[in-house]
Amino acid sequence: MKRLAATLVIAALLAALPLATRSDFVLTILVFAFLQGMLAVSFNLVFGYAGQLSMFHAAAFGIAAYATHLFGKHLGVGYWSGVLLAATLVGAISVVVGAICFRFRLREFYFAVVTLAFSEMARLTVLNWNSMTNGSLGINLQDKATIWIPGAGIRPIESTLAWYYVALAALGVTILLCWRLVHSWMGRAFAAIRLNDELGDTLGINVFRYKLAAFTAGSVMAAFAGSLYAYFLGSLEPGFLSIDTSLGIIAMVLLGGRSAVAAPVVGALVLTALPHVIHFSAEIRSIVYGAILIFTILAMPQGIYGTAATLWRRHRAA
């Protein structure tokens, strides 16, 4: 109950934040952080809850970003139809990739390597399919994301403030969905698989089906994040599908924490805001990223949320 109250307070504060500041700088960082947070939360469903180190998340993110644009351009569908079609496409690809991996019982490192291989194949396809994707140059998006406003009809999302609420809502829905999933019978199956999938098998849990469900659900959520992210950024590039994107997602989850559904958002906020608050060159940013990753794993394996929660409990007990 307390937790629900805290969540509602945080949600209300975030919703009311634009009353305090309309600064484009602050809102832009927060929109990026929320969209990255969607990625991190959905990745944590696969990694933190179901225990599968998927390297396919960047591919799901990037494929959806490209697909949304290409569906709009070649089929002439509107933005949200494009988003849904892209998510469906990513879902279908994930089912195939996941089914191959899990049917052949790939685990841990081998699962990571094979999903990485599929992710790289997707990246190479995007990089080399020049007629569709414009290769390494990427695409500048001319079309705008739209939203239906009661009374005003379908309008393009243009102001950063509008994006702020769209991103906040999308992140909220992602967290809610993940929360519902992991606190259901399905979430208990995920936990069993994470802790010992052979034991789960003997207890009558259909390991294949639940791994596939977690993997596909995570990828589809990443797809929505990708469609929104590309249109907020206003451009597409093959780098969306790179190993660096996956590394960034992993860093956010580890830094934020794995033990609560919304914990990775903390990591997303810190890592998105950091380079904007202190002006780094790309190299220094990369060094800081790596150092944070190493430090978190060796010194703070529970992440910011987990460490803070432990400290808070200790404080309360004392």
Partner 1 sequence: MTQLIVGQLLNGAIVGTLYGIVALGVTLTFGITGIVNFALGVFMMLGAYATWYFADVVGLPYPLAVLAAIAVTAAAGLVADQALFRFTRNNLVNGLLVSLGLIAVLEATALLVFTSTPKEMHRVLPGIVMAAGLVLPKIKLVVFALLLVVIFATYAALTRTWIGRAAYAYSQNPEAAALMGVSTARLQSGVVVYSCALAGLGGALYAALYSLEPTLGSLFILKAVEAAILAGIGSVTGALLGGVILGVTEGVGSIYLPLAFRDAYGLVFLVVILLFKPAGLFAGRR
Residues near partner 1 (CB under 8 A) are 53, 100, 104-106, 108-110, 112-114, 117-118, 120-121, 124, 127-128, 243, 247, 250, 254, 282-287, 289-294, 297-298, 301
Which CB atom, from 25 or from 295, has the smaller least distance to partner 1? 295
Tell me the C-alpha distance between 263 and 142, whole Å. 35
Which CB atom, from 277 or from 287, has the smaller least distance to partner 1? 287
57-75 and 24-44 helices, crossing angle to 10°: 120
Element (H, E) at 140: strand 139-140
Q: How many residues does the chain have?
A: 318
Tell me the C-alpha distance between 144 and 231, whole Å. 7
Which CB atom, from 123 or from 224, has the smaller least distance to partner 1? 123
Tell me the C-alpha distance between 249 and 42, whole Å. 10
Tell me the C-alpha distance between 42 and 27, whole Å. 22
Phi-psi region of 140 (alpha: psi -120 to 50; beta: other; left: phi over 0): beta
Task: Report in angstroms how near the CB of residue 289 gets to partner 1 at its nearest.
Answer: 5
Task: Report in angstroms how near the CB of residue 125 gets to partner 1 at its nearest.
Answer: 8
Residues near 191 by beta carbon (within 8 Å), at least 6 away in sequence:
49
Contact 170, 41 (CB under 8 A): no
Task: Report in angstroms how near the CB of residue 315 gets to partner 1 at its nearest.
Answer: 27
DSSP notation for 261-272: TTHHHHHHHHHH
Task: Report in angstroms how near the CB of residue 154 gets to partner 1 at its nearest.
Answer: 40
Which CB atom, from 85 or from 237, has the smaller least distance to partner 1? 237
Task: Report in angstroms how near the CB of residue 218 gets to partner 1 at its nearest.
Answer: 17
Task: Report in angstroms how near the CB of residue 142 gets to partner 1 at its nearest.
Answer: 27
Which CB atom, from 156 or from 290, has the smaller least distance to partner 1? 290
In order of 62, 81, 89, 98, 264, the CA distances from 78 in angstroms are 19, 5, 16, 30, 32
Which CB atom, from 104 or from 312, has the smaller least distance to partner 1? 104
Which CB atom, from 25 or from 129, has the smaller least distance to partner 1? 129
Tell me the C-alpha distance between 91 and 101, whole Å. 15
Task: Report in angstroms how near the CB of residue 41 gets to partner 1 at its nearest.
Answer: 19
Contact 261, 182 (CB under 8 A): yes
Tell me the C-alpha distance between 9 and 15, whole Å. 10
Task: Report in angstroms how near the CB of residue 183 gets to partner 1 at its nearest.
Answer: 24
Which CB atom, from 53 or from 270, has the smaller least distance to partner 1? 53
Q: Residue 314, class by beta-carbon neighbours within 10 Å (0-12 exposed, 13-18 middle, 19+ buried)?
A: exposed
Task: Report in angstroms how near the CB of residue 196 gets to partner 1 at its nearest.
Answer: 16
Which CB atom, from 128 or from 184, has the smaller least distance to partner 1? 128
